[in-house]
Amino acid sequence: ARFPQLNAHYDVKREVITRYEAVHLGIATQTDRGLCVPVLRHAEAMDLWQAASEMRRITEAARNNCISRDELAGSTFTVTSLGRMGGLAATPIINHPEVGILGINKAADRPAVYHGQIAIRRILNVSGSFDHRVVDGADGATFVLRDGPCCHYADEDAIEPLWKGQRFPLQACISGWSM
């Protein structure tokens, strides 16, 4: 893994960092009972379609209140989204004892400079929060800006989300949390 320090837990009382090889991705999911985080187990071993299918299954189970307790525990990194709520930018809150979280916000048409011209572009803000006792700020920024799990660079000023094939200029917010 390129960023093993992000796939970790920090035990505050014992002051112990535990890094994991398996990526158990928490998917923050809004339900009628509030926010819960079902876990996509072994995300690193899945292709995009397998991950999407399993993510759909666990988030629907959470929303329908038929998810098992085991499917709500053991995440090593979380992804959250405020897009449905209309949020254009946010600072996601780390799901302790994890040490990082990636926030995907709403894609919206906004004016932007593109190739020296002002144009209406679809903008997608991506936010990350990291526990700086474990994750160096430069590593967190690199992860969000260049190597996030949901995107790859299509060119210098745009990313291409793998799930839609649309191009979005990237604006990223990096925030850190430390005590």
Kindly list the catalytic residues: 132, 136
- Which pTM does this prediction carry? 0.79
Report the percentage of the chain scoring pLDDT > 70. 79
139 close to 3: Cβ distance less than 8 angstroms: yes
Q: Is the omega angle on the peptide bond into residue 38 within 30 degrees of 0, that is, cis?
A: no
**Tens digit of pLDDT for each residue in 20-79?**
999 999 999 999 999 999 999 999 999 889 999 999 999 999 999 999 999 999 999 999
> How many beta carbons lie within 10 A of that of residue 107, not counting itself?
16
The C-alpha angle 11, 17, 18, rounded to 5 degrees, equals: 100
> How many beta carbons lie within 10 A of that of residue 143, not counting itself?
22
139 close to 164: Cβ distance less than 8 angstroms: no
**Tokens 């994991």 sit at which residue?**
20
Determine the 3-state secondary structure of 69 from DSSP: helix
Amino acid at 170: L
132 close to 97: Cβ distance less than 8 angstroms: no
